């Protein structure tokens, strides 16, 4: 899928600068396969929306090539690219009815009246909005407007649809529902989707692959499980999901694993992913659900002791906030069970984990 030979959308060495002094997008290389759902995820200002706008044609790349289906599109104006787009604020035309909004892309393509009607009806039915064709956008709720916007981006059968934080304005429940709907539409139509969001759970739920953006660069491009379980660097580890970090120095590297020394001298073992050789600083990343309590931790094992600071009851599980090796926000998720009752605020407790779950990353 990532082979450039069958890539549908290609970014090759793309750079973008607005002021000629700083690069918003630095040397972007990205291949998107046909039919793929790719999400660009990152904090605001990371360059993800700029990339989307360059693909749509509303921004020009300062350097590099963007290819769509093998053809360079740098000099193709937006209206000739044939790319569907869903905007953050829906951008439904307020002076047209829902049906007129959907008919617009077909009318500018000079389609016949009967064809237009059939296509509009089909698109509206697809998003369960068939009964609302005569309404104005202002008479619809946010979720309904969102559906219409999706239908409008798809009604002219584009092969590529771009979505720019389309669910940002919806409340949580509606957002989750719409995530599934968009996912289902994608699966049904087999259309290629490039989706921009800063919401990681949205990205994890919907995407085939996620490109995590930061500082104008793709930090990691991987399917959601890989991204969560095998982050390549400490930015991705921190940005995706909940993460505990511990700073340490590499003592020795032994095959896949590294022996690391914490500041208090304790030694531990971690998976050497992105740490330097012996003597270099590293940051260990540990998911809260991969840490266990162990009453008898022995030094030189994969384990430390920490001070219990707070217990937060969440029904099925308990979040335990601890102070571990100077990190005051070390969180452990414990399933609600007998084990929990032994924990007391203000007491020390032993923690262990598997060396495979503790990833030694860059010290950033």
Partner 1 sequence: MADATAGDGIAPEENRSASGLLLSADGTPLKNSIARAERRARIRAFLLILPLLAFVMVSFIAPIADMLFRSVENDIVADTLPRTVVELQDWDPASGVPGEPVFEAFYADMLDATEAKIHTRLGSRLNYEESGMSSLFRKTNARRLGRIDDTQPLAPQFEKIDEDWATVEPWAILKTFSARYTPGYFLQAADMKLTPEGVESVDETQQIYIKLFWRTIILSLTITCSCLLLGYPVAWLLANLPMKSANILMILVLLPFWTSLLVRTSAWKVLLQEQGVINDILVWIGLVNDGARLVLINNQIGTVIAMTHILLPFMILPLYSVMKTIPPSYLRAAKSMGANDWVAFWRVYFPQSIPGIGAGAILVFILAIGYYITPELVGGTSGTFISNRIAFHISTSLNWGLAAALGSLLLILVMGLYWLYDKIVGIDNVKLG
Which is closer to partner 1, CB of 88 or CB of 280?
A: 88
* Contact set for partner 1, span 135-174 (CB under 8 A): 152-153, 156, 162
Find the helix or strand (DSSP H, E) in which 13 lies.
strand 7-16
For the window 38-57, what string marks contact with partner 1 as x by the rule CB under 8 A?
------------------xx
Tell me if 234 sits within 8 A of 246, measured CB to CB. Answer: no
Which is closer to partner 1, CB of 58 or CB of 180?
A: 58
Which is closer to partner 1, CB of 90 or CB of 228?
A: 90
Taking CB under 8 A as the rule, does residue 241 contact partner 1?
no
* Candidate residues 43, 65, 108, 223; the one interacting with partner 1 per rule CB under 8 A: 108
Rounded CA separation 333/123 (Å):
44
Which is closer to partner 1, CB of 20 or CB of 225?
A: 20
Min separation Cβ 136 and partner 1, Å = 13
The owner of tokens 């059939």 is 118
Which one, of 195, 184, 213, 190, lies nearest residue 38 by Cα? 195
Which one, of 39, 32, 83, lies nearest residue 57 by Cα? 83
- The residues, ordered by sequence, that sit 6+ positions from 285 with a Cβ below 8 Å of its Cβ are 231, 234, 237, 238, 243, 244, 245, 358, 359, 361
* DSSP reduced 3-state for 167: coil
Min separation Cβ 86 and partner 1, Å = 9
Rounded CA separation 121/273 (Å):
52
Tell me if 143 sits within 8 A of 151, measured CB to CB. Answer: no
For the window 220-239, what string marks contact with partner 1 as x by the rule CB under 8 A?
--------------------
Min separation Cβ 155 and partner 1, Å = 9
Q: Give the interface size with partner 1 as a residue count (CB under 8 A).
A: 27
- DSSP one-letter code for 128: T
* Contact set for partner 1, span 57-96 (CB under 8 A): 57-58, 77-85, 87-89, 91, 93-95
Min separation Cβ 112 and partner 1, Å = 16
Residues in the site for partner 1, rule: CB under 8 A? 56-58, 77-85, 87-89, 91, 93-95, 104-105, 108-109, 152-153, 156, 162
């Amino acid at each position: 899928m990532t082979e450039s030979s069958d890539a549908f959308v290609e970014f090759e060495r793309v750079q973008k600068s607005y002021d000629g002094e700083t690069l918003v997008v630095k040397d972007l290389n990205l291949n998107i396969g046909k039919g793929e759902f790719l999400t660009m995820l990152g904090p605001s200002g990371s360059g993800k929306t700029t990339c989307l706008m360059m693909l749509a044609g509303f921004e020009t790349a300062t350097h590099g090539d963007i290819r769509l289906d093998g053809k360079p599109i740098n000099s193709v104006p937006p209206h000739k690219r044939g790319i569907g787009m869903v905007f953050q604020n829906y951008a439904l035309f307020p002076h047209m009815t829902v049906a007129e909004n959907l008919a617009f892309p077909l009318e500018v393509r000079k389609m016949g009246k009967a064809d237009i009607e059939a296509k509009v009806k089909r698109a509206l039915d697809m998003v369960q909005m068939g009964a609302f064709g005569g309404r104005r956008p202002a008479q619809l709720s946010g979720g309904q407007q969102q559906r219409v916007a999706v239908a409008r981006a798809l009604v002219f059968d584009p092969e590529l649809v771009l979505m720019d934080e389309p669910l940002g304005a919806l409340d949580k429940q509606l957002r989750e529902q719409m995530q599934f709907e968009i996912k289902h539409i994608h699966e049904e139509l087999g259309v290629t989707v490039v989706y921009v969001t800063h919401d990681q759970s949205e990205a994890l739920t919907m995407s085939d692959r996620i490109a995590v953006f930061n500082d104008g660069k793709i930090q990691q491009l991987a399917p959601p499980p890989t991204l969560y379980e095998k982050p390549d660097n400490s930015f991705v580890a921190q940005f995706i999901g909940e993460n505990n970090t511990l700073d340490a120095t590499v003592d020795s590297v032994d095959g896949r694993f590294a022996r690391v020394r914490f500041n208090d001298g304790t030694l531990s073992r971690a998976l050497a992913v992105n740490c330097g050789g012996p003597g270099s600083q590293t940051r260990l990343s540990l998911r809260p659900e991969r840490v266990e309590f162990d009453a008898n931790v022995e030094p030189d094992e994969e384990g430390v002791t920490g001070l219990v600071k707070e217990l937060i009851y969440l029904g099925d599980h308990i979040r335990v906030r601890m102070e571990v090796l100077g990190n005051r926000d070390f969180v452990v998720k414990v399933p609600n069970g007998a084990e929990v009752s032994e924990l007391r605020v203000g007491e020390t407790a032993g923690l262990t984990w598997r060396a495979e779950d503790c990833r030694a990353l860059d010290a950033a």
